[in-house]
Amino acid sequence: MIHPENALPQGAPAGLARTDFAPDFVWGCSTSSYQIEGAAAEDGRVESIWDRFCARPGVIRDGSSGALACDHYHRWPQDLDLARDLGTNAYRFSVAWPRIFSGPGAKPNPKGLAFYSRLVDGMLERGLQPWLTLYHWDLPQYLQDRGGWNERATVHAFAEFADVMSAHLGDRVKHWITQNEPWCTAIHGHLDGVHAPGMTDFKTALQVSHHVLLSHGLAVPAIRANVPGAQVGIALSLHPLRPASDSAADRAATVRHDGLRNRWFLDPLYGRGYPADVLRQLGADAPAVQAGDLEAIAVPTDFLGVNYYFPETVADAPASLPMQTRVVAAPGVPRTAFGWEVAPDGLTSLLKRIDADYAPSTMFVTESGSTYDDVIGPDGTIADTERRDYLAAHLAATRDAVAAGCPVKGYFAWSLLDNFEWAEGYLRRFGLTYVDFDTQERRLKDSGKWLRAFLGGADGSQRTGTHAGASAAYAPDAHQDRIKPAANSQQTSIT
C-alpha cells in the first residue's frame, strides 16, 4: 500500500562527519571486469556476450567496446593504490567468467585464475578487504550460443564457476556477491535489448530472471562449502517508487510496477516465492519453475547488497504492456548528466522499506554514484562539485537510515574509475578518478579528493583497517537473513 508519508523529500545534508558512522563501517568503491579490465584477447580470455554485442553497429552510442577500457588488467597495481589512498578499506570487483572457462567441459584457465589471485593479493597488501562479485554481466559467448541464461544448463555452469572461484580464492576472499542486478541481466539484456545479448522477448526475459536467481541459490552453498565463515549475498538494483498523481489508477499502477521492479526479486529471495499479483498479470509469460527452485533461491544469505541510483515516478498506462505502467519524469527535480533524478532521501526510504518488509540481518549499499560532464581545468583539476555533493548527500542518507534502525554496515561508491559505461560507451563518466582513455592517465577528481579527506586517506592520519577516528566535516555548497512473513507481498508499502 502506498502512503502519503512515503513521498521523496529533497534536501542536502546540513553536516556530515566520518564519526557519524560506526568504526567498523565498510568503505569501498565498486568496479566490474568488462568495464575496466581490457585485455579482451589476452591470456586465454574468450569472447563474452559484450564483445559480441559491441561488434553490432549502432548498439553502443560512441561505437566503442570494453576491449581496452581502463587497461586495468595491466594497471591494477596503480588502481589499487588509488583505492588505498582514498582511505577505503574494501574493494568490490568482479571476475570475468570468460577468463576462467573457455568452453563446455574446459578446465579452468590457469592464467585467468592467476590474474585474480594477484589482484586479491594486491588488495590485501594494501589493507583492502576483497569483495568479489561472480557475475557482472559478461557471460561467455559460448554459453549464449547454447541459449544463455534462458537455459538451465547455464545455471549449472554458473554453479561450477562459483565452485572453482571460491575454491581458488576462498582462503583470502571472505565476502562474496553472487549476481549483480538480475533485473538488468533480464530486462535490459532480454526485453528492451539495450544490453547484451540484445534480445527483445518478454517471456525469455522472465525465464532469464528466474534462472539468474536460481544460479544464486546454487552458488551460495558451493561458496560456503569452500570458504569457512564466508559472507555471501546478492546485489539488487532497487528503486523507491511514487505515483504520478493521487489518482487510484496511478496508485494501483505503482503497485504493479513495484511488483516487477522490486518484489519480483526480493520476494523469492526471502522465501515468499514470486508475487501472486505479478504472476496473475504475467499469465502465460510467467517463467517455468521446477520443483525445488524456490527453495534453492531462498537459501539463507548473510547480507543484501542494495544498488541505488534514482527513484521512479509511475503512471497508469493501460496500453503499455506488460504491466500497464509507464515511468514519467518528475518535474522540477535535479538530475545527473544521465538524466537520472538526484534524490538522496530516496535511498533512506528505500533502505527503510527493505528493512520493514524483508528484515535482512545486514545491508550494504553496494553501488551509488553519478555521472556528470567532467571538465579538466587549466590547472589540471576536475572540479566535479555536483558529484561531490551527490556523494555527500547519499552518505548522509545512509547515515539517516542507520539512525532509523536499518542494519546498513557499509557503502561502496560507483565507481573508482571512469569506465566503459555499457550502451553509453565512454560518454558517461561515473568515476571518482578521471581516466584519459587515449593515454590511460588517471587523475583524481575533486569528489575523490573530498572522499579522501573525509576518510582520512593518503595524506591524512586516520586510515586504519577499520578507519576508526574522525575526519573533516562536510557542508554542501549552496547548490543469515531473517525472513519476515507476509501473507500477501502486494500489501507491502512502496517508498
**Which of 10-19, 221-230, 346-355 comes out lowest in average pLDDT?**
10-19
pLDDT band of residue 27 (cuts 50, 70, 90) is very high
Q: Compute φ and ψ for 338, nearest 5 degrees.
A: -80, -10
The dihedral sign for the CA sequence 480, 184, 176, 287: positive
For the cut 80, the answer to whether the pLDDT of residue 471 exceeds it is: no
Domain range holding 337?
4-491
Which DSSP helix (H) or strand (E) runs through 91?
A: strand 90-94
pLDDT at residue number 416: 98
pLDDT at residue number 458: 78
pLDDT at residue number 480: 39
What per-residue string of b and e applies to 430-451 under the rule 16 or more CB within 10 Å gives b? bbbbbbebeebebbbbbbbbbb
Specify whether 5 is catalytic: no
Specify whether 151 is catalytic: no
For the segment 106-133, what is each residue's pLDDT rounded down to a tens digit?
999 999 999 999 999 999 999 999 999 9
Distance in angstroms (rounded) separating the CA atoms of residues 369 and 307: 9
Distance in angstroms (rounded) separating the CA atoms of residues 42 and 449: 34
Distance in angstroms (rounded) separating the CA atoms of residues 384 and 434: 10
Q: Which CATH number is 411's domain given?
A: 3.20.20.80
- Under a CB-based contact definition with an 8 Å cutoff, are residues 130 and 124 in contact? yes
Nine-digit cell at 76? 591494477
Which DSSP helix (H) or strand (E) runs through 207?
A: helix 202-226
Share of the chain above pLDDT 90, in %: 89
pLDDT band of residue 460 (cuts 50, 70, 90) is low
For the cut 80, the answer to whether the pLDDT of residue 479 exceeds it is: no
For the cut 60, the answer to whether the pLDDT of residue 169 exceeds it is: yes
Residue located via cell numbers 555548497: 477
- Under a CB-based contact definition with an 8 Å cutoff, are residues 451 and 415 in contact? no
DSSP 4: G
Considering the candidates 37, 181, 341, 421, report the single residue annotated as catalytic: 181
For the cut 60, the answer to whether the pLDDT of residue 488 exceeds it is: no
- Widest CA span in the chain: 64
Nine-digit cell at 296? 534453492
For the cut 90, the answer to whether the pLDDT of residue 482 exceeds it is: no
Distance in angstroms (rounded) separating the CA atoms of residues 400 and 388: 18
Share of the chain above pLDDT 70, in %: 90
For the segment 235-275, what is each residue's pLDDT rounded down to a tens digit?
999 999 999 999 999 999 999 999 999 999 999 999 999 99
Instruction: Report how many domains make up the chain.
Output: 1
Considering the candidates 341, 367, 386, 421, report the single residue annotated as catalytic: 367
> Residue 405: how many CB atoms within 10 A of its CB?
10
For the segment 276-286, what is each residue's pLDDT rounded down to a tens digit?
999 999 999 99
For the segment 28-87, what is each residue's pLDDT rounded down to a tens digit?
999 999 999 999 999 999 999 999 999 999 999 999 999 999 999 999 999 999 999 999
What per-residue string of b and e applies to 124-161 under the rule 16 or more CB within 10 Å gives b? eebebbbbbbbbbbbbbbbbbeeebbbbbebbebbbeb
Nine-digit cell at 127? 589493507
Q: Which residue, 272, 231, 80, is CA-closest to 264?
A: 272
Angle of CA points 304, 308, 311, to nearest 5°: 130
pLDDT at residue number 459: 54
Record the pTM. Answer: 0.92
Collapsing DSSP to helix, strand or coil, 418 comes out as: coil
Collapsing DSSP to helix, strand or coil, 129 comes out as: strand
Averaged confidence pLDDT in the chain: 92
End-to-end CA distance of the chain: 9
Q: Which residue, 199, 266, 275, is CA-closest to 238?
A: 266
Residue length, the chain? 495
State yes or no: cis peptide before 322, omega within 30 of 0: yes
Q: Which residues are within 8 A (CB) of 379 and not within 5 positions of it... i.e. 6 or more apart?
A: none
pLDDT band of residue 1 (cuts 50, 70, 90) is very low
- Under a CB-based contact definition with an 8 Å cutoff, are residues 466 and 402 in contact? no
425 backbone φψ class: left, alpha, beta (φ>0; ψ -120 to 50): left
